[in-house]
Amino acid sequence: MTTANVQETYTKDQQLIEQIRSGDEKSMVQVYQLHKNGFIHWAQINYKIDEASAADAFQDAVVCLYNNITKGKLEHLTSSLKTYLYAIGKNVVRKKLQKPILFHQDELQIVENLRAEPVDSFAENDRQRFVAKLMNTIGEPCKTILQLFYFKGFTMQAIAKAMNYKNENVAKTQKLRCLTNLKNMVKEKFSGDDF
């Protein structure tokens, strides 16, 4: 690969990172589709796993990448996006399928500094898993408001605009009501448990 090609790849990768950071989930799907087949083929050959397991690991890797970017843990790439995805994907395969896997130095640096694990392990205890289940039942507009605020980092003003509310105070009141309801349901379920 020539220096010009490397530079072009870096610029494109960095653009994708910026788009994901701005909340553009379409770019995340684009990254996934761009590297999915390559990763599955590579993982099947190197780790002797079936296609479905390789695809599952790669989906987790892309979700981790998204999380690292939106949480501000990954701002500037020091390798190609593909290197990041493969390093995270390898670590997911290692943890999920208990495979003994060796990492190169640059890959080690990536998995040590970023979150690189199966999506299932993002929930650390029963209370967190219960909250995730509750999210399926709380309905709208709570689900969208909480998503915009806690997951996408929208300001109250932006939420008011997105939800067609009169002003940010209405959005703030609604968010507080949704969060309080959620907490009350959790407290009711886990009252007496030691956390």
Partner 1 sequence: MSKPGESRRDQIDQYVNEQMEAGELADFEQRMRENVALAESVHLHRDVQKGMEYYFLQGLKQDLIRSDAKKPKSKLPTYLAIAATVLIMAGAGLTYYLEYENRSPETLFTAYFEPYPNIIAPVQRSASGQQAGEAMQFYEAGQYAQAITVFDRLISQEPENAGLTFYRGVCYLGNNQPEKAATDFQTVIQSEDNPFLQASHWYLGLSYLKLSHTEEAKKHLAKVRATEGKLADEAAEILSDI
Q: Which residues are near partner 1 by CB under 8 A?
A: 25-26, 28-29, 32-33, 59-60, 62-63, 66-67, 119, 122-125, 127-132, 134-136, 139-141, 144, 146-147, 150-151, 162-165, 170, 174, 176, 179, 182-183, 186-187, 195
Closest approach of Cβ 110 to partner 1, in Å? 19
Closest approach of Cβ 88 to partner 1, in Å? 14
Rounded distance, CA 151 to CA 9, Å? 29
Instruction: Indicate the helix (H) or strand (E) that contains 121.
Output: none
DSSP state of 154: -
In one-letter notation, the amino acid at residue 71 is K
122-133 burial string, b = 16+ CB within 10 Å, else e? eeeeeeeeebee
The residue among 158 and 163 lying less far from partner 1, judged by its C-beta, is 163
The residue among 13 and 60 lying less far from partner 1, judged by its C-beta, is 60
The residue among 77 and 162 lying less far from partner 1, judged by its C-beta, is 162
Look up residue 58 and give its two tokens. Answer: 């790669």
Rounded distance, CA 85 to CA 43, Å? 12
Closest approach of Cβ 157 to partner 1, in Å? 16
Closest approach of Cβ 129 to partner 1, in Å? 7
The residue among 46 and 147 lying less far from partner 1, judged by its C-beta, is 147
Rounded distance, CA 162 to CA 15, Å? 25
Which of 192, 117, 178 minimizes the C-alpha distance to 146? 178
Rounded distance, CA 191 to CA 195, Å? 10
Rounded distance, CA 105 to CA 84, Å? 12
The residue among 158 and 186 lying less far from partner 1, judged by its C-beta, is 186
Closest approach of Cβ 18 to partner 1, in Å? 16
